[in-house]
Amino acid sequence: MAGKEKNSSGQPLVNNQVYGFIPTDIDGVDTLAELALDLRWSWNHAVDEIWYQLDPELWMETHNPWVVLQNVSRDQLIKQMADKVFRERLDEMMTQKEKSSTDPAWFQRSHPSSPLTCIAYFSMEFMLSEALPIYVGGLGNVAGDQLKSASDLGIPVIGVGLLYQQGYFRQLIDQFGTQQALFPYNDPGQLPISPLRLPNGEWLRINISLSGHTVWLRTWQVQVGRVKLYLLDSNDPVNMPLHRGITSAAYGGGADLRIQQEIILGIGGWRLLRAMNIAPEVCHMNEGHSAFLVLERAANFMRENGVTFQEALTVTRAGNLFTTHTAVAAGFDNFSPSLMWQFFANYAKEELHLDFNDLLALGREDPHNLSQFFNMAFLAIHGSSAVNGVSRLHREVSRKLFRNLFKRWPNSEVPIGHVTNGVHMPSWDSVFADKIWTHSCGKERWRGRLESVERDIYCLSDVALWQFRNDSRHHMINFIRERFQGQTEDAGHSPEIVEMAKHIFNKETLTLGFARRFVPYKRPNLLLHNPERFIRILTNPQRPVQLVLAGKSPPYDESGKALIRQWVQFIQQHNLYKHVVFLSDYDMLLTEHLVQGVDVWINTPRRPWEACGTSGMKVLVNGGINLSELDGWWAEAYTPEVGWAMGDGHEHGEDPYWDAIDANELYELLEQKVVPEFYGRNKEGIPENWVAKMRNSMSTLTPKFSANRAVREYTEKYYLPAANKYKKRSSKKGMLGKKIVETKLNLQNKWWKMRFVQAQIENIAGGYQFKIMVWLNHISPDTISVELFAEGLNGGANEIIKMEIIGLAKNGLDHECHGCIGTSRPAGHYTARIVPCYENISVPLENNLILWQR
Ligand SMILES: *Cc1c(COP(=O)(O)O)cnc(C)c1O
């Protein structure tokens, strides 16, 4: 199995195909390399012992197989490879890996003859492992976890992203609580990635043009189970110094740098796929950063089929999906017309054969307003056939944000759906969780439809659950002590403090966790609203509480840094070391430990700014319970059986008065609900109410808020229909696309002269009949729909009744339309309207014309 010449993809794996140094002349080392370069190890720990055996110390230190493999001595490798047991184990691991990469999974079983063969998933960041630091926060988390779940389920996804030399900054907190930002260089040779090489061994390079200069992009591959992620970076020695640093840091610099990163991601990313001969039916834009791909995908179709830009866009957008993650208008990337001119004047002319202002119109609310900035989210919307937000509440918020693109349409019809995010449970569960979940639900539990998970996990006994909770907390506290000790040493604290760090916290004490980016809308200091009251909660001698905190503030954000300082000084001034700790350098590894061990996860965003939030989902599988503002995912997850909620379910902006109300509610919940439930024990010493909440939360919420559910939903709700639509429109050199463009133009020219001539309402048995005369101005009745519309009652769905176009009226000019309604609502609730309807286009996303009767 561990043959020397071939790896599982059939390509020879020789030394020049990996970027670091690996002694592949030693028999079997290429197999090790293949395992080390597959990030499956970040969630499947079956191979861990192999790395441990190679170098126990380095493995414990880094948990990065690729680093272990590059550092282990030649002698040790030869020795291990000669060891029969080790070799057998290695071969077994390789067999398992190959099996899990090729066995039919959920997608193959559920959609065996699907037209969907490839989804390209574009994202500015991917959070897969701390060993590959190309992420900042929540957005990368969603991307990384969805790739992993796509691998579990066999969904044919390919990720496209950027390789940052410095990733995001690393955080140090000094003695005074001040955050220091460090930017260590990530040597690509030490990252679990490999250069993307052509069959002849040549390193694949992509070129793009930036303000008239050719820029070469290096290409990389990351193996994520059965899924591949391709990365681009501009640090090629061929490039001018000006360009080599474009991909240095995630979200670094101003608009000028950002637009270049986004050109590399969108345009470079699409070219990379084409260079590999990959032709995805579906492109999924995870946030608008990658939206330039809309242009390049269309340009590509133009070249290959000899059609106009509008036709190509009409065809290709059918296969594009845009997911928006922002809850505020300021969250969208905007570029000034002059910056756009610098980078796109030539592109519009040469590649798209398009007037520059027509290109800008794709990123504007009002295409005629030449001073409007170019908005990447608008481009993404104008280039997609479906758009979604990331929670139910965020869908509503997004509809408001985008409503000006759909003027005269009701808010409820702004074409934005939602898929609530989920997290990749196997990446976030602890060894303790893995054990009880495997016992209850089996090893394959995250690879199917999760149908029986709720029932199976519900059967766990109180004793087992409570033991699990205690083990998890104990394990985390050991980690916290060790980590805090290192942190106090690094920050130059006195030996007394360093010594004390080894003994902070109590293993049986109720432990709260709060870790997230320190930005104002998350209100990371809400717990400090009334310090005395909070100290009383922490230090109650019978029922003490402890809190572990972590979080980075954006490096140049003084107000965010002040929030961190406020916490550190609070701990110092009140000598609360035994009860509160602020751990530095919040990253994936730290998250993992915290979500696995805390009893309660606290989240205090200002509604509705937490578009979804994912950190709270990570505690579900580990038996942690959420206490959160009713925002994002928690607004749809919360019931009193599964956790605690604060806020009144309404929005109050930044009003300090409401912050005070929320803070008081938070204290009250802790004092009256959380603490008493944790310490209220039965005869066996078990907190029955607590354990019941744990059980409910684990069984009902874990499947719902898993990435498994989210990517299945994306597949069935969006990818499959988009692939079908794209296939239809693109066949015969885009014939249908041409027809759609013609119809749209025709409607645009004639629409505004259409009018309602006459309406009458007649009583009929069981309801009313509307008889309406419309003047269509020579528009074909086959391209429109005449409808009766009534707004939904009490927040319910709108009522839309398609009217029958009977034919020409007696005057030979107007069309007569009929539609019937029942008696449940007065006829006056209904208004007639005309909307576009042809060739299965998405309305109003692809055509927002509408004519109301009044
Ligand atoms: C989960 C996670 C996030 C996202 O957390 P939210 O609080 O839900 O925004 C951000 N950063 C890291 C390191 C994470 O693990």
Query: DSSP 3-state helix, strand, coil percentages of the chain (rounded to 5)?
Result: 45, 20, 35
Same CATH topology for 16-174+191-337+383-418 and 754-852?
no
Number of H helices, E strands in the chain: 33, 28
Residue 516 in contact with ligand 1 by CB distance below 6 A: yes
| pLDDT(7) > 50 | no
CB atoms < 10 A from the CB of 171, how many? 20
Residue 130 in contact with ligand 1 by CB distance below 6 A: no
d(CA 666, CA 629) in angstroms, rounded, equals 9
Q: Which atom of ligand 1 is nearest to the CA of 591?
A: 15
My answer on whether omega of the bond before 608 falls inside 30° of 0, hence cis, is yes
Give every CB contact of residue 473 below 8 A, 6+ residues apart in sequence. Answer: 507, 511, 597, 598, 599
Q: Is 277 left (phi over 0), alpha (psi -120 to 50) or beta?
A: left
Long-range pairs, 822-829, Cβ under 8 A, ≥24: 822/766, 822/767, 823/766, 823/767, 823/768, 825/790, 825/793, 825/799, 827/761, 827/768, 827/770, 829/790, 829/791
Q: Are 434 and 622 a contacting pair, CB within 8 Å? A: no
Q: Are 258 and 333 a contacting pair, CB within 8 Å? A: yes
Average pLDDT over residues 389-418: 97
Q: What is the DSSP letter of 717?
A: I
Predicted pLDDT of residue 3? 33
Characterize the bridge pairing of strands 600-603 and 643-646: unpaired
Residue 615 in contact with ligand 1 by CB distance below 6 A: yes
Q: Which atom of ligand 1 is nearest to the CA of 618?
A: 1
Give residue 375 CA to ligand 1 midpoint distance, Å.
26
Residue 626 in contact with ligand 1 by CB distance below 6 A: no
Give residue 136 CA to ligand 1 midpoint distance, Å.
9
C-alpha distances in Å from residue 699, one per residue of 238, 465, 511, 705? 55, 12, 22, 11
Residue 324 in contact with ligand 1 by CB distance below 6 A: no
Read out DSSP for 495-507? Answer: HHHHHHHTT-S-T
Tokens of 53: 């055996």
Q: Are 551 and 525 a contacting pair, CB within 8 Å? A: no
Residue 614 in contact with ligand 1 by CB distance below 6 A: yes
Place 225 in a pLDDT band, splitting at 50, 70 and 90: very high
Place 18 in a pLDDT band, splitting at 50, 70 and 90: confident
Pocket test for ligand 1, best of 584, 614, 705 (most atoms within 8 A of CB): 614
Q: Which atom of ligand 1 is nearest to the CA of 423?
A: 1
d(CA 275, CA 229) in angstroms, rounded, equals 15
Give residue 382 CA to ligand 1 midpoint distance, Å.
30
Helix (H) or strand (E) holding 24: none
Q: For the full predicted model, state whether its pTM sits above 0.85.
A: yes
Long-range pairs, 306-313, Cβ under 8 A, ≥24: 306/733, 307/733, 307/734, 307/737, 307/738, 308/353, 308/741, 309/352, 309/353, 309/354, 310/741, 311/734, 311/737, 311/738, 311/741, 312/734, 312/737, 313/383
Which residue's alpha carbon is at the smallest distance from atom 13 of ligand 1? 587
d(CA 663, CA 657) in angstroms, rounded, equals 10
Tokens of 167: 């990733």
d(CA 390, CA 326) in angstroms, rounded, equals 9
What topology is assigned to 754-852 in CATH? Immunoglobulin-like (2.60.40)
Average pLDDT over residues 595-620: 97
Predicted pLDDT of residue 764? 93
The maximal CA–CA distance of the chain, rounded, in angstroms, is 98
Place 239 in a pLDDT band, splitting at 50, 70 and 90: very high
Q: Which residue has the higher pLDDT, 809 or 374?
A: 374
Predicted pLDDT of residue 840? 95
Average pLDDT over residues 591-602: 98
Predicted pLDDT of residue 373? 97
Nearest to 471 by CA among 590, 588, 622, 618: 622
Tokens of 233: 């970076």
Residues above pLDDT 70, as percent of the chain: 98
d(CA 190, CA 203) in angstroms, rounded, equals 18
Pocket test for ligand 1, best of 615, 619, 629, 633 (most atoms within 8 A of CB): 615
Nearest to 606 by CA among 576, 629, 575, 582: 629
Average pLDDT over residues 588-602: 97
Q: Are 4 and 27 a contacting pair, CB within 8 Å? A: yes
Burial of 74 (0-12, 13-18, 19+ CB in 10 A): exposed
d(CA 192, CA 544) in angstroms, rounded, equals 43
Place 8 in a pLDDT band, splitting at 50, 70 and 90: very low
Find the range with the poorest average confidence among 225-229, 425-429, 453-457, 717-721. 453-457
d(CA 710, CA 397) in angstroms, rounded, equals 20
Predicted pLDDT of residue 17? 66
Average pLDDT over residues 94-101: 91
Q: Are 788 and 818 a contacting pair, CB within 8 Å? A: no
d(CA 264, CA 209) in angstroms, rounded, equals 10
C-alpha distances in Å from residue 774, one per residue of 625, 670, 690, 803, 804? 59, 63, 64, 12, 12
What topology is assigned to 452-705 in CATH? Rossmann fold (3.40.50)
Average pLDDT over residues 172-181: 93
d(CA 150, CA 447) in angstroms, rounded, equals 9
Helix (H) or strand (E) holding 430: none
Give residue 142 CA to ligand 1 midpoint distance, Å.
9
Tokens of 99: 């099996």
Predicted pLDDT of residue 622? 98
- Positive or negative: CA dihedral 83, 86, 90, 95: positive
Give residue 484 CA to ligand 1 midpoint distance, Å.
20
Predicted pLDDT of residue 703? 97
Question: What CATH architecture is 16-174+191-337+383-418?
Answer: 3-Layer(aba) Sandwich (3.40)
CB atoms < 10 A from the CB of 265, how many? 25
Residue 391 in contact with ligand 1 by CB distance below 6 A: no
Tokens of 155: 């969904």
| pLDDT(86) > 80 | yes
Q: Are 853 and 756 a contacting pair, CB within 8 Å? A: yes
Q: Which atom of ligand 1 is nearest to the CA of 516?
A: 7
**CA quadruple 805, 810, 811, 815: dihedral, nearest 10:** 0
Give every CB contact of residue 263 below 8 A, 6+ residues apart in sequence. Answer: 208, 210, 292, 343
Pocket test for ligand 1, best of 141, 424, 521 (most atoms within 8 A of CB): 141
Give residue 586 CA to ligand 1 midpoint distance, Å.
9
Residue 586 in contact with ligand 1 by CB distance below 6 A: yes
Predicted pLDDT of residue 11? 44
Q: Give the start-to-end residue ranges of the domains of the chain.
A: 16-174+191-337+383-418, 452-705, 754-852
SS3 for 210-233, per residue? Answer: ECCEEEEEEEEEEEECCEEEEEEE
Q: Is 374 left (phi over 0), alpha (psi -120 to 50) or beta?
A: beta
Q: Are 37 and 9 a contacting pair, CB within 8 Å? A: no
Q: What is the mean pLDDT of the chain?
A: 94
Collapsed DSSP state (helix, strand, coil) of residue 403: helix
Long-range pairs, 559-564, Cβ under 8 A, ≥24: 559/520, 560/518, 560/519, 560/520, 561/178, 561/179, 561/518, 563/518, 563/520, 563/524, 563/525, 564/173, 564/177, 564/178, 564/179, 564/518
Residue 325 in contact with ligand 1 by CB distance below 6 A: no
| pLDDT(9) > 60 | no
Residues 247-295: tens digit of each pLDDT: 999 988 899 999 999 999 999 999 999 999 999 999 999 999 999 999 9
Place 21 in a pLDDT band, splitting at 50, 70 and 90: confident
Give residue 615 CA to ligand 1 midpoint distance, Å.
5
Tokens of 807: 């034919």
State the angle between helix axes of 29-36 and 84-102 in degrees (0 to 180), rounded to the nearest 10.
Answer: 50
Collapsed DSSP state (helix, strand, coil) of residue 491: coil
Place 13 in a pLDDT band, splitting at 50, 70 and 90: very low
Residues 145-157: tens digit of each pLDDT: 999 999 999 999 9
**What are the helix (H) ranges across 445-530?**
453-458, 462-490, 495-501
Residue 231 φ then ψ, to 5°: -125, 150
Residue 335 φ then ψ, to 5°: -125, 140
Give every CB contact of residue 692 below 8 A, 6+ residues apart in sequence. Answer: 641
| pLDDT(25) > 90 | no
| pLDDT(514) > 70 | yes
Nearest to 417 by CA among 381, 380, 392: 392
Residues 316-364: tens digit of each pLDDT: 999 999 999 999 998 999 999 999 999 999 999 999 999 999 999 999 9
Residue 138 in contact with ligand 1 by CB distance below 6 A: yes
Nearest to 399 by CA among 385, 384, 386, 389: 389
Helix (H) or strand (E) holding 117: none
